[in-house]
Amino acid sequence: MINLLQSLSRTMHLSAILAILLFVGLFFGGGDWAFDRVFWSWLFRYFHVLTGIMWIGLLWYLNFVQIPNMPKIPDEQKPAIGKVIAPAVLFWFRWAAFGTIVTGLGKAAGFTEIEWAKLAFSELLGCDPFPGTINVILSSEKDLKTWELLKPLPEKLLQPPNPDWCNSLCYKAKIGGKIDAAIILPEVKDYPINQLELVASVNVRQTLSLKDGDIVEIEIYRN
């Protein structure tokens, strides 16, 4: 066992096998446990956090450890950094970034497909929501002040049947003047004050040909 845990790859493989055996045991053990949308949403959230920690951790290592200390390394040892350590760090950095993004998309898509959430968003939008959400950052002081004024006036309070989920305030909106949408504001501590998370009736990125960093107009209104 000690030799097994001294190998990173063997430890990861053993952890994956134990996790699979646990899930299979829970599934066939009866009870209310099932591979439903709640489970997949939880699983995506878990791997989203895990890969996010790896991504940010490697970024901090590069910026606060490796790069600042490169001048202190003797010249004869620097080739080892460039040929061995740096390629390994960049390899895991790229895959951690990829994993964080993909699991984030899966987590958001899973949430909008949960029956009670899908029903609530359908009532707001007048049609079924497109799987997933889109995040918009408020970049101006004027937009932030306007959003603070509108926060106490939600269109709907979303109360999940599962106590493990937080309540969310929902606001009717239009994106780009033509796409029906709903803003979701989770009632959690330290939620970013400049972030809007939106559910829409269509794929917003594709419909408006948006890329990361593009400016988009959000109109918030009440019935």
Give me the pLDDT at residue 190, please: 77
Convert the pLDDT of each residue in 60-78 to its tens digit: 888 888 888 888 888 888 8
% of residues, the chain, pLDDT over 70: 79
Looking at the predicted structure, is the pLDDT value of residue 160 above 70? yes
pLDDT category at 161 given cuts 50, 70, 90 is confident
Alpha carbon distance 11, 194 (integer Å): 40
SS3 158: strand
| Strand (E) or helix (H) holding 112 | helix 86-113
pLDDT band at residue 178 using 50, 70 and 90 as cut-offs: confident
DSSP category for residue 19: H
Length of the chain: 223
- Cβ–Cβ < 8 Å for 200, 214: no
CATH of domain 127-221: 2.40.30.30
pLDDT at 47: 76
The answer to whether the beta carbons of residues 196 and 178 sit under 8 Å apart is no
Place of tokens 């918009």: 136
Backbone angles phi, psi at 36, to 5 degrees: -100, -170
Single pTM value for the model: 0.52
The tens digit of pLDDT for each residue in 96-144 reads 776 655 555 545 555 666 666 777 777 777 777 777 777 788 878 888 8
Instruction: Using pLDDT thresholds of 50, 70 and 90, give the confidence band for residue 215.
Output: confident
**172 and 120 Cβ atoms separated by less than 8 Å:** no
Please provide residue 77's backbone torsions phi and psi, each rounded to the nearest 5 degrees. -100, -15
The answer to whether 173 and 221 are in contact (CB under 8 A) is yes
| Residue 42's pLDDT band (cuts 50, 70, 90) | low
Residue 84, pLDDT above cutoff 80? yes
Task: Locate the domains of the chain by residue range.
Answer: 2-113, 127-221
What is d(CA 107, CA 87) in angstroms, rounded to the nearest whole number? 30
DSSP state of 65: I
The distance between the two most distant Cα atoms of the chain, rounded to a whole number of Å, is 71
pLDDT of residue 223: 66
Q: What is the DSSP letter of 80?
A: H
Give CA–CA dist 156/160, Å, rounded: 13
Burial, 211: exposed, middle or buried (Cβ in 10 Å; 0-12, 13-18, 19+)? exposed
